[in-house]
């Protein structure tokens, strides 16, 4: 596709795309400080905080990427009734993301607080409760998914971070319902029980996640190993296609009949945080807009190269992508 073709795609297709993100909702909060001394009451460094930032994380970050690209985006998952949910809700509203599918629980909104010195993470605090959610809460999720499928969707992203949403039973119900409506499912996988993604159209792991399910780890630089790993995933877990994110080595798309290795455009890898989220979001956008999977992989790789040069969680925009394509 030419630069003009890509611009036309964003202007005529993406604005009409409807994508639902289902999964674990998080807030990422950053406290940036200067470390110049140790505490007098304990042998620990003292960070004088000079800047704070709050960002949408996990499934919410994928939804944010989709919205900033121009898609009509909704997100569903579990949240708490707390200050972090207020921050999350405000940011979803500012991004124009439909949050009617957020299901309130008695547990806290999953939040990660990072203390940073320059670009180095010194400490992290996690606020979460991984107790199993109730049948009634899952029924509410399923009801929202069914409603949106009936109103028409172009793609679904299942965003699994092992925080309680993506159980084997729930994933199976989502994939089955989506396929009954002819809607492709892109999965952001996590952990080792990938059997719960059976029959998904695509999974979009990075190499670190792939290595958790392999007996022999692969490197990000090895094209042949990336293909073999992709075919293993497809065969073992009955997943139709694999789009593997390989950090500075780009991405690899493995389909039933072919394989494509696309090198990254990044000149310098600054921070890999959120790259896999961006790849899942951009690839889902491409499928929703009717692009061929290889073209989706190409533009997802362009987006990954942009995010690799950013610090912390960063949601891509269509302007970012078009500027990169033009350059």
Task: Quote the tokens at residue 18.
Answer: 């409807």
CA distance to 52, 110, 242, per residue, from 293 (Å): 38, 33, 10
Q: How far is Cα 316 from Cα 91, in angstroms, rounded to an integer?
A: 15
Catalytic residue among 154, 160, 201, 277: 277
Known catalytic residue at 277: yes
Please give, one letter per residue, the 3-state secondary structure of the chain.
Answer: CCHHHHHHHHHHCHHHCEEEEEECEEEEEEEEEEEEEECCCCCCEEEEEEEEEEEEEEHHHHHHHHHHHCCEEEEEEEECCCHHHHHHHHHHHHCCCEEEEEEECCCCCCEEEEEEECCEEEEEEEECCCCCCCHHHHHHHHHHHHHHHHCCCCEEEEECCCCCCCCHHHHHHHHHHHHHCCCCEEEECCCCCHHHHCCCCEECCEHHHHHCCCCCCCCCCCHHHHHHHHHHHHHHHCCCCEEEECHHHCEEEECCCCEEEECCCCCCCCCCCCHHHHHHHHHHHHHHCCCCHHHHHHHHHHHHHHHHCCCCCCCCCHHHHHHHHHC
CA–CA separation, 37 vs 30, rounded Å? 20
Residues tagged active-site? 277
């Amino acid at each position: 596709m030419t630069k003009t073709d890509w611009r036309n795609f964003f202007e005529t297709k993406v604005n009409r795309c409807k994508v639902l993100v289902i999964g674990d909702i998080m807030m990422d909060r950053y406290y940036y400080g200067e470390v110049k001394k140790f505490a007098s009451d304990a042998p620990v460094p003292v960070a004088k905080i000079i800047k704070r930032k709050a960002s949408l994380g996990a499934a919410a970050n994928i939804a944010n990427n989709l919205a900033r690209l121009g898609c009509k985006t909704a997100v569903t998952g579990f949240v708490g009734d707390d200050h972090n949910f207020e921050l999350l809700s405000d940011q979803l509203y500012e991004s124009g993301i439909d949050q009617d599918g957020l299901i309130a629980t008695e547990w806290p909104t999953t939040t990660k607080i990072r203390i940073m010195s320059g670009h180095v993470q010194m400490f992290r605090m996690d606020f979460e409760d991984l107790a199993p959610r109730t049948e009634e809460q899952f029924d509410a999720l399923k009801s929202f998914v069914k409603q949106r499928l009936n109103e028409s969707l172009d793609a679904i992203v299942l965003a699994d971070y092992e925080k309680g949403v993506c159980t084997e039973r729930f994933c199976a119900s989502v994939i089955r319902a989506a396929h009954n409506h002819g809607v492709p499912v892109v999965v952001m996988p996590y952990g080792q029980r990938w059997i719960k993604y059976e029959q998904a159209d695509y999974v979009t792991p990075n190499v670190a996640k792939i290595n958790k399910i392999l007996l022999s780890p692969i490197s990000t630089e090895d094209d042949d190993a990336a293909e073999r790993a992709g075919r293993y995933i497809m065969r073992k877990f009955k997943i139709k296609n694999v789009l593997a994110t390989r950090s500075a080595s780009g991405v690899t798309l493995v389909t039933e009949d072919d394989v494509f290795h696309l090198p990254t455009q990044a000149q310098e890898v600054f921070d890999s945080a959120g790259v896999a989220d961006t790849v899942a979001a951009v690839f889902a956008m491409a499928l929703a807009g009717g692009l061929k999977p290889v073209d989706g992989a190409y533009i997802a790789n362009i987006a990954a190269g942009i995010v690799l040069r950013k610090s912390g969680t960063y949601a891509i925009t269509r302007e970012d992508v078009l500027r990169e394509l033009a350059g």
